Structure 1
């Protein structure tokens, strides 16, 4: 193998690793946001259970409890964070991508194409967010990988 050929292979490998690093960083941030949402929801559920346990005790403030007519549901607070605004937009992006693949049929598409079709910015951060979501959808078999950087409806 010539030195020029070996240098080219090293360059291609380095570019691939840089793409992987960017994708993994976006995925890490998305997982951190998802974990924050789960922790917030866990706290809400714990508080709701605590309130229900008080209602289910034989007496509330010295008065016998005979029935519970209504319980106000507790809505979890999802923290806003990152450019996608927390868990709500993260879920919305996933649904938008799945809708896009429903319309795209069996076409092979790149993350950049998906981002553009969804009207998202075409900067690296937005494309990496779409790529990260696509990779999660591949992991759950909701989207297929058709080749390097290519995705197709499952």
Structure 2
């Protein structure tokens, strides 16, 4: 009798432990799914940005296609390492030029809105979420990541500065 009761107790303890593990793993799975959704949204915004830049590049080098192929333009050299791997994906993501043009206009408009926001923000630290809310944009992860991507690009061009992890401030 003692061994049956002892075995039943071990089974009960094991089952409780597994239930705790299951709850923890479900929470972890949800967190990873949210993080993956944010990464996918950021990837999409980066692909759209690269696509917009690629559309802008041919007119600049159209004066001589041989010279443009032999000598890279000084401006896009920062982007060049990412272009070979992103170019085939971009072609599949945005096949219609009217769609890309619309994204390009929205992209430039967001940049101007963010710069206008920072011109009035003064010397305060703000998060991408705060900027998105101030601009009246949706507060879903995709919209916030689009703002964050634009903020990072503006930091790269020294038009605003990063004041801490996830914090931005007017330059």
TM bucket normalised to smaller = 0.5 to 0.7
Shift in alpha-carbon separation, 1:115–1:106, aligned structure 2, 3 A: same
What secondary structure, in the 3-state scheme, does the structure 2 residue paired with 1:151 have? strand
Partner of 2:49: 30
Runs of 4 or more consecutive aligned structure 1 residues displaced over 4 Å after TM superposition:
17-22
Superposed displacement of residue 22, structure 1: 4.7
Structure 2: distance between partners of 1:80 and 1:27: 18
Count of aligned positions? 112
2:109 equivalent to 1:80: no
> For structure 1, which runs of at least 5 residues remain unmatched after alignment?
1-10, 47-78
Structure 2: distance between partners of 1:112 and 1:126: 9
Shift in alpha-carbon separation, 1:37–1:144, aligned structure 2, 3 A: same
Query: Does the aligned pair in 1 maintain the 2:42–2:142 contact within 8 Å?
Result: no
> For structure 2, which runs of at least 5 residues remain unmatched after alignment?
1-27, 64-96
Superposed displacement of residue 21, structure 1: 6.3
Structure 1 residue corresponding to 2:119, chosen from 87, 97, 102: 102
Structure with greater helix share of residues: 2
Partner of 2:133: 116
2:155 equivalent to 1:138: yes
Using structure 2 for the length normalisation, give the TM-score: 0.53
Structure 1: distance between partners of 2:146 and 2:49: 8
Root-mean-square deviation (CA, aligned residues, Å) is: 3.1
What secondary structure, in the 3-state scheme, does the structure 2 residue paired with 1:116 have? helix
